[in-house]
Structures are given as C-alpha cells and as structure tokens.
Amino acid sequence: MGWFLQLFSGSKTLSYKKQLKNVLGFTPRAVSLYKVALTHRSVKDGAAENNERLEYLGDAILSSIVADFLFKKYPYKEEGFLTEMRSKMVNRATLNEIAIKMGMKKICNYNKYDNSLKISQIFGNTLEAVVGAIYLDRGYNSTNKWVVERIIMPYLFMEELENLEINHKNKLYGWANKNGKSLEFETLEEKLVNGRRLFTMGALINGSLIAQGKAYNKKDASQIAAQQAVEKLGLNKEADVVSD
C-alpha cells in the first residue's frame, strides 16, 4: 500500500506542476513556494502557510521591476510622470484583472464559499505573491524577465496608461472628507536647481506632515506627495479589506 500512496502522491505533484506551467509558462523548481503563494488566508491561518508574506515580498520586487522598466523606456521623463505610470501599472485593480486573465483564479486556493472573496481583489494579491515565489525560486533576473514578458508586454499598454488619469489628490481628499480629517498641501521648499525651480510639497493631515513630493512644478509635486500619503495610509488596498 505504501508504494501505491507514494505513486499517487507523485502523480498529484506532476499534475500540479503541469497546472502551474500552464499558467506561469515554466515548470517551477520549488513547488512548495508556489503552493504557499497561491494559498489565501481564508483557508490557511499560519504565516508560513498563506501568501501574505510572499505578497509583501512580491509587491516590493514587482515595484522595483516596473520602476526599472519605466526608467529605461522613458529616459527623458520627470519623476512625477514615472511615479504616476508606476502607480497605474501596479495598482490593485489592474493586477487583479491581469491575474484573472492569466488564470490565477483557477489555481488559487481560497474559500470558494465566501462570496465576498469572489468579487474582491485577492487575485491581484496572489499575483504579487507569485512574483515573490519566482524571485525566491529563480532569482531577480529571471523574475524581471517573467514580469516583462508575462505581465507588462501582454497586458500593460503604455500609450493607454499614459492617457489614463489617476488623481491621488482626489482619492486623498475623498478619504479625508469621509473620515472627518483636515487635508492641506503646503510648499515646504522652493529652490533653483540647474536654472529650474524645484518645489517640495507636503501633504498635511490635521496639521501633521505625513508625506512630501518633489517636482519642477507644484501640481506634480503635490501629486507625488498625495501618492506617498495614499500608500502610507494603505488606501490603494481599500478594496482588499476582505483579505485582511
């Protein structure tokens, strides 16, 4: 009986590897990493068993890869433009849509009886966790290649994203109004750099500085400060509350 169970277990592993290859485009080495990356907290509570830690890692790796991609693609664009483009590319709704198109939902292990999860953004979180798993399994260069070839090129169209309006200030003002907070943007510094005025704008909530941004005009600097504030307050993951 032992040999039969071993054979059956081996067959299941091969089948799972095949599923992963169909979605990821390659056969993983450390399959256990991907099992964790594809496991939501609704079915596994342990920090070593669900994908929250890998999501944290993958979020940072993905942001780094996208930043590098944009830096090379737009050699003459200012920081404000690059920051906004990165925000458009890695926001939760965009990643969730990409993850579903890639087939992540089919192999993600989550509580399928919880209807709220089916309409949440957990698959975008899962995609980030998978990026973290690939990084640990294959290293940064392979992860960079995978992100560019499997996420950026097929799903993120630069011309469309350039024309897509994302206003972080509006989001921050909306949050402040909803929560009874006072929000102001203040010029913290203005100086000449190579003959151009560089502005440092601060985002203040109830009079306390929570984020700042620099750019060659006040509007871009305010948007950068607002984005930093949005990220600091976790407002980009508001649709994620069901997975917290």
pLDDT at 41 over 60: yes
Catalytic residue among 55, 128, 137, 220: 128
Report pLDDT digits (tens) over 165-179. Answer: 666 787 888 888 889
**Length of the chain, in residues:** 244
Q: What was the pLDDT predicted at 16?
A: 78
The residue annotated as part of the active site, out of 59, 84, 137, 220, is: 59
Q: Is 22's pLDDT higher than 80?
A: yes
Does the pLDDT of residue 194 top 70, yes or no? Answer: no
Residue 63 CA: distances (Å) to CA of 131, 151, 177: 11, 13, 29
Alpha-carbon torsion angle 115, 123, 165, 215, nearest 10:
130
Which residues touch 14 (CB under 8 Å, ≥6 apart)? none
| pLDDT digits 0-9 by tens, 150-168 | 999 999 988 888 877 666 7
Tokens found for residue 42: 């609704």
Q: How confident is the model at residue 140 (pLDDT cuts 50, 70, 90)?
A: very high
The token duo for 168 is 């972080």
What values do phi and psi take at 80, rounded to 5? -60, -45
CB-based contact 4:206 (threshold 8 Å): no
Crossing angle for the helix pair 52-73 and 122-138, nearest 10 degrees? 80
What pLDDT was estimated at residue 66? 96
Beta strands in the chain (DSSP E): 183-193, 196-205, 208-215
- pLDDT at residue 2 greater than cutoff 50: no
| Reported confidence tier of residue 9, pLDDT bands at 50, 70, 90 | very low
Q: What is the pLDDT, as a whole number, of residue 13? A: 62
Whole-angstrom distance, CA of residue 150 vs CA of residue 144: 10
Is 184 annotated as catalytic? Answer: no
Report which of 46, 43, 24 is spatially closest to residue 127, judged by C-alpha positions.
24
The encoded tokens of residue 179 equal: 């929560």
Average pLDDT across the chain, whole number: 83
Mean per-residue pLDDT, 193-211? 85
- 3-state SS assignment for residue 189: strand
Structural domains present in the chain: 2-163 (1.10.1520.10), 168-243 (3.30.160.20)
State yes or no: is 162 an active-site residue: no
Lowest mean pLDDT among 41-45, 186-190, 194-198, 217-221: 194-198
pLDDT of residue 240: 38
